[in-house]
Amino acid sequence: MASAAKTVWFLRHSQPVFSRQFKRFQSSEVRQGFLGTVGNTPLIHLKKISENTGCTILAKAEFLNSGGSVKDRAALFLIKDAQEKGLIGPGGTVVEGTAGNTGIGLAHMCLALGYKCVIYMPNNQSQEKIDALTTLGADVRPVPVAPFTDPNNYNHQARRFAESINNAVWTNQFDNTANRRAHIETTGPEIWRQTDGKVDAVTFGTGTGGTLAGVSMYLKDRNPKIKAILADPEGSVLYNWIKHGKLEREGTGSITEGIGQGRVTDNLKGADIDDAVHVTDKLAVEMTFRLLHEEGFFVGASSGLNVSAAVQVAQMLGPGHTIVTCLCDTGQRYYAKLFSRSVLESRGVLESIPEQYRSSLHD
């Protein structure tokens, strides 16, 4: 073919190819950048763990969000909220107090959007989360553990720092209800769609309360009979708050990171929570290892706690019900602590792990 004829042929034939490709990139199958990779996680039937309960236990695979946890959803909505309210401009700084996962979600998004990220966190959280935050370019500031009533609590330090510099926003995941809106607008509708509305109860551990409040608000709006049950670890006050209306701690601290609370956050206020279950560290850790060895999921202890709570809820409701919970993040985030024989022994929970599953432990 002569070269002019080649050009004519190319223009005639390539046009539809280009426009077809362009349409494909616009399709809902293509995610738009990092922010587009948050949500739409699979709902998993945990078959073996469901077996003895006579119920169907389903778990949202939140560790599959691109930042690796359920908190990516909150991070996305907190940033969008700050942008919509004009609280942050180009090149600005996002400041947050976090057990780590919200910070990791925010740090990813700050890189994608050209913001700086400053993270205050209590100094008893896993090294893996600190390392991830540092790798993501966040300025990580671990601070001594202090209750919310103490001005040195990590959240207050985050707020004060944001107030002290220009073009910075404190995203305030605990009391900014943009957090639970993420679950009203995404997690709740996904669960409704994925179960065809056939869900009897949801149960989630609570850090900010965003997941539990948001999911239950959406689902109860569709069907008020759906039960919302709070799953609470040792050292938290929320179990007694739901059961007896008192903010009294049940047990001391927990090995589980990211959940448990000493107060009723704004994200939790106004949510219609039907009941609460208390999950000991022994049960949470045992279930974390069962999820690994019986179902193949390498997840953190809050996921173990959630699924252990779902088993308790199944026993409360009786056979034939469908209970939804979530696998919040990956076990890699806790490798040094949660999979260490000596740490588990010192916390008195080693014995709760079935002997045949202890091959996963390191010293």
Q: Which residues bind ligand PMP (CB under 6 A)?
A: 69-71, 99, 101, 205-211, 257-259, 300, 302, 328-329
Contacts of 332 (CB under 8 A, 6+ apart): 128, 298
Of 67 and 207, which CB lies nearer to ligand PMP in the complex structure? 207
- Edge-first strand order for the sheet with 168-170 is 139-143, 116-122, 93-97, 168-170
Of the candidates 60, 71, 116, 337, the residue annotated as catalytic is 71
Of 57 and 92, which CB lies nearer to ligand PMP in the complex structure? 57
Of 122 and 300, which CB lies nearer to ligand PMP in the complex structure? 300
Of 70 and 82, which CB lies nearer to ligand PMP in the complex structure? 70
243 is catalytic: no
What's the rounded Cα separation, in Å, for the pair 193 and 215? Answer: 13
Minimum CB separation of residue 306 from ligand PMP in Å reads 8
Residue 201, beta-bridge partner list: 227, 323
Q: H-helix or E-strand containing 277?
A: strand 275-278
What's the rounded Cα separation, in Å, for the pair 271 and 186? Answer: 17
Residue with the closest Cβ to ligand PMP? 258
Of 92 and 239, which CB lies nearer to ligand PMP in the complex structure? 239
Minimum CB separation of residue 283 from ligand PMP in Å reads 16
Minimum CB separation of residue 266 from ligand PMP in Å reads 12
Q: What is the DSSP string of 321-353?
A: -EEEEEE-BBGGGGHHHHTBHHHHHHTT-GGGS
Give the residue among 136, 109, 102, 77 at the shortest CA–CA distance from 257.
102
SS3 188: helix
Minimum CB separation of residue 296 from ligand PMP in Å reads 19
Minimum CB separation of residue 7 from ligand PMP in Å reads 58
Active-site residue numbers?
71
